[in-house]
């Protein structure tokens, strides 16, 4: 873990202080019955001061995450959650977060047990090819919709190929950002040449996306529907970035927004009062 501090002698000098990950957070993940351990479950954790860690459970359902103890108690509070997709029938599971305080001197800190909740079936991967000048529109198997307008892609190629892959595991969590159910990894490439076309869409050619959700996914994790908002994963900052403008249709269980790029997208509950990154003003909720 890195701490950046200014030198007392030079204002333009930054001192880099590293913290060793000498503490282990250990715990177990259980199936929906609260008794059966689940192996190969993806476990993600974050601390209040921005540390992150992740790993998978072993055959006994146990996980162990190496983390660094912070100087301030605030940074020693961790939140841990788990996600799992059945290899047999694509049923996906996710857990509520559990807290863990690693303050003290123990080298190993045991967290509360995690119990998975069934979130439904993971949709199939959707692949297609289309003509760039005509655009592309698709209603996915879960009712979500992606619409790419004509001539939106930054390419001289005539045809493109798109892959929309639902994903529940390997989605990292941020402080204050609780992931719900699954997200979508969306990639577009030139049909000839295989050049990636997910960024810098042509001006005025934003993609329209509508994500659907189930009431059971929201209430099952103790989430308020009014706090749902879409976000994309930024590889540059290794964090989820919220969409500022969006609408929620509570009757149809839909979140709709526009974007100038494609990447990994998800929707999660966010209380703007508790997170300074989220503006307090939002578009009207319908």
User: Above 70 in pLDDT, residue 174?
Assistant: no
User: 281 or 225, which is more confident?
Assistant: 225
> What residue ranges in 168-238 does DSSP mark as E strands?
183-190, 207-212, 228-234
Nearest-angstrom CA–CA distance, 169 and 247: 26
User: Above 50 in pLDDT, residue 263?
Assistant: yes
Classify domain 123-274 by CATH number: 2.60.220.30
User: Above 90 in pLDDT, residue 89?
Assistant: no
Asked whether the beta carbons of 101 and 75 are under 8 A apart, the reply is no
pLDDT digits (tens, 9 = 90+) for 235-249: 887 778 888 899 999
User: Above 50 in pLDDT, residue 261?
Assistant: yes
Asked whether the beta carbons of 252 and 263 are under 8 A apart, the reply is no
User: 269 or 266, which is more confident?
Assistant: 266
User: Above 90 in pLDDT, residue 282?
Assistant: no
Task: Evaluate if pTM is beyond 0.75.
Answer: no
User: Above 70 in pLDDT, residue 39?
Assistant: yes
Range list for CATH 2.60.40.10 in the chain: 2-120
Tokens of 264: 């990994």
Alpha helices for the chain (secondary structure H): 215-219
- Stretch 10-15: mean pLDDT, rounded? 59
Alpha helices for 4-114 (secondary structure H): none
pLDDT digits (tens, 9 = 90+) for 51-72: 889 999 999 999 999 999 998 8
What pLDDT is recorded for position 284? 36
Domain 2-120 architecture:
Sandwich (2.60)
User: Above 60 in pLDDT, residue 176?
Assistant: no
Rg over CA atoms, the chain: 21
Which is nearest to 96 in space by CA: 75, 82, 76? 82
Asked whether the beta carbons of 55 and 45 are under 8 A apart, the reply is no
Sorted by sequence, the CB contacts under 8 Å of residue 9 that are 6+ apart come out as none
Which is nearest to 253 in space by CA: 282, 225, 277? 225
pLDDT digits (tens, 9 = 90+) for 119-172: 888 888 999 999 999 999 999 988 999 999 999 998 988 999 999 998 876 666
What pLDDT is recorded for position 12? 60
User: 95 or 173, which is more confident?
Assistant: 95
Asked whether the beta carbons of 102 and 109 are under 8 A apart, the reply is yes
pLDDT level of residue 285 (50, 70, 90 thresholds):
very low
């Amino acid at each position: 873990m890195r701490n950046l501090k200014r030198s007392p002698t030079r204002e333009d000098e930054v001192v880099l202080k590293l913290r060793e990950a000498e503490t282990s957070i250990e715990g177990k993940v259980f199936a929906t019955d609260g008794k059966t351990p689940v192996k190969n479950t993806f476990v993600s954790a974050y601390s209040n001061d921005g540390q992150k860690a992740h790993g998978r459970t072993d055959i006994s359902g146990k996980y162990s995450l190496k983390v660094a103890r912070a100087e301030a108690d605030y940074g020693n509070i961790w939140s841990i959650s788990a996600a799992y997709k059945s290899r047999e029938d694509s049923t996906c599971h996710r857990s509520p977060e559990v807290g863990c305080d690693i303050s003290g001197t123990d080298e190993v800190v045991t967290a509360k047990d995690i119990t998975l909740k069934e979130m439904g079936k993971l949709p199939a991967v959707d692949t297609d090819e289309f003509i760039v000048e005509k655009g592309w529109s698709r209603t996915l198997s879960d009712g979500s919709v992606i619409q790419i307008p004509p001539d939106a892609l930054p390419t001289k190629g005539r045809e493109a190929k798109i892959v929309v892959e639902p994903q529940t595991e390997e989605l990292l969590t941020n402080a204050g950002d609780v992931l719900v159910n699954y997200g979508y990894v969306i990639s577009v490439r030139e049909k000839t040449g295989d050049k990636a076309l997910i960024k810098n869409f042509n001006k005025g050619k934003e993609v329209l996306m509508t994500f659907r959700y189930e009431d059971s996914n929201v209430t099952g994790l103790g989430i308020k529907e009014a706090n749902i908002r879409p976000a994309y994963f930024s590889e540059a900052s290794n964090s989820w970035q919220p969409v500022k403008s969006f609408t929620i249709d509570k009757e149809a269980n839909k979140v709709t927004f526009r974007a100038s790029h494609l990447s990994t997208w998800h929707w999660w509950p966010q209380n703007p009062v508790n997170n300074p990154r989220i503006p307090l003003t939002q578009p009207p909720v319908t």
